[in-house]
Homo-oligomer: A and B are copies of this chain.
Amino acid sequence: MAAPARPPFAAWLGGGNDVTAAFLAAAGRPDIVNLAGGLPDPALFPVEDLARLAAAAVRERPAEVLGYGPVAGMADLRAALAARLSTPALRLSAANVLVVSGGMQGLDLLGKVLIEEGASVAAQWPTYLGALDAWRPRRPRYRPLLPATDPAGLAAALAGAAFGYVVPNFSNPTGRLVPEGERRALVAAARATGTWLVEDDPYGSLGYDGPALPRLLDLDAGEGAGAGGYEGPVVYLGTLSKLVVPGLRVGWVVAAPAMIAALARARQGSDMCGAGLSQAMALAAFAEGLPERLAPRAVALYRGRRDALLAAMAAGLGGRFAWEVPAGGMFVWARARDAGLDTDRLFHAGLAAGVCITPGSAFDPAGRDRGGLRLNFTLNPPDRLAEGVRRLAAAAATLG
- Which residues of chain A have a CB within 8 Å of any CB of chain B? 3-7, 9-13, 16, 20-21, 24, 37, 39-40, 42, 45, 47-48, 50-52, 54-55, 57-59, 62-71, 100-102, 104-105, 108, 112-117, 130, 133-137, 162, 191-196, 233, 241, 245-249, 262, 264-266, 268-278
Per CB-CB distance, the 10 closest pairs between chain A and chain B, nearest first, are A4-B194, A133-B269, A54-B54, A247-B276, A51-B58, A66-B245, A55-B55, A66-B247, A42-B63, A105-B271
Indicate if the CB atoms of A42 and B62 lie closer than 8 Å.
yes
Q: How far is the CA of A353 from the CA of B5 in the complex (A)?
A: 54
Chain B nearest Cβ from A285, distance in angstroms: 12
Counted per complex, copies of this chain come to: 2
Chain A interface SS verdict (over half): helix
Tell me the nearest residue of chain B to A132, going by C-beta.
B269
List chain B residues, Cβ under 8 A from A11.
116
List chain B residues, Cβ under 8 A from A3.
191-192, 194, 233
Tell me the nearest residue of chain B to A7, going by C-beta.
B162
Evaluate whether A70 and B24 lie within 8 angstroms (CB atoms) in the complex, with A55-B54, A58-B47, A62-B42 already known. yes
List chain B residues, Cβ under 8 A from A102.
271-272
Q: What are 19 contact pairs spanning A and B, CB under 8 A?
A: A4-B193, A4-B194, A6-B196, A7-B195, A10-B116, A12-B112, A13-B265, A13-B266, A39-B68, A42-B66, A47-B62, A50-B66, A66-B247, A66-B248, A101-B275, A108-B271, A249-B275, A275-B275, A278-B278
Evaluate whether A233 and B270 lie within 8 angstroms (CB atoms) in the complex, with A50-B66, A68-B247, A70-B24 already known. no
Identify which of B47, B271, B277 contacts A66 (C-beta below 8 A): B47
Evaluate whether A13 and B113 lie within 8 angstroms (CB atoms) in the complex, with A47-B58, A245-B67, A273-B249 already known. yes
